[in-house]
């Protein structure tokens, strides 16, 4: 099985990548390389999820059984929609996980 994780180097994305790798899946991460290092064993599709060119390059690079989008909690809804649309032809499922509600008072605090 193949999984694409947007993010994947920090917090929830990293945990998802590590867990799924341990279960024997092939994991690709899309990240900018600003928040940490890739989990050993993933395929890094380095890029910015807000870039249409990076999303098109990613979509052209493979197919995945599922996408777990963990990097968009600070993104505008249009960025989440753009990612989902760009990856729809190459992903069996697309799951968006927002952790914004895990923080009381976010984003002010």
Q: What whole-number distance in Å separates Cα of residue 54 and Cα of residue 108? A: 30
Q: Locate the DSSP E strands across 9-107.
A: 26-30, 43-44, 66-69, 94-96
8 Å CB contact between 47 and 58: yes
Q: What whole-number distance in Å separates Cα of residue 17 and Cα of residue 45? A: 13
| DSSP strand pairing (94-96 vs 66-69) | parallel
- Looking at the predicted structure, is the pLDDT value of residue 73 above 70? no
Q: List pLDDT tens digits, range 46-68.
A: 999 889 999 999 999 999 999 99
Query: What pLDDT is recorded for position 80?
Result: 87
DSSP annotation of 49 reads T
Higher local confidence (pLDDT), 13 or 60: 60
Neighbour tally for 49: CB within 10 Å: 22
- Looking at the predicted structure, is the pLDDT value of residue 83 above 80? yes
Q: List pLDDT tens digits, range 93-109.
A: 999 887 666 667 666 76
| Residue whose pair of structure tokens reads 């947007």 in the numeric block | 6
Q: Could you tell me the pTM of the whole model?
A: 0.86
Q: What whole-number distance in Å separates Cα of residue 20 and Cα of residue 93? A: 15
Query: What pLDDT is recorded for position 8?
Result: 82
């Amino acid at each position: 099985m193949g999984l694409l994780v947007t993010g994947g180097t920090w917090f929830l994305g990293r945990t998802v990548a590590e867990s799924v790798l341990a279960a024997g899946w092939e994991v690709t991460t899309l990240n900018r390389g600003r928040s940490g290092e890739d989990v050993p064993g993933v395929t890094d599709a380095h890029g910015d999820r807000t870039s249409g060119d990076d999303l098109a390059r990613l979509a052209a690079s493979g197919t995945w059984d599922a996408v777990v989008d963990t990097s968009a909690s600070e993104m505008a809804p249009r960025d989440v929609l753009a990612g989902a649309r760009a990856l729809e032809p190459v992903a069996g499922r697309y799951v968006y996980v927002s952790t914004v509600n895990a923080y009381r008072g976010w984003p002010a605090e």
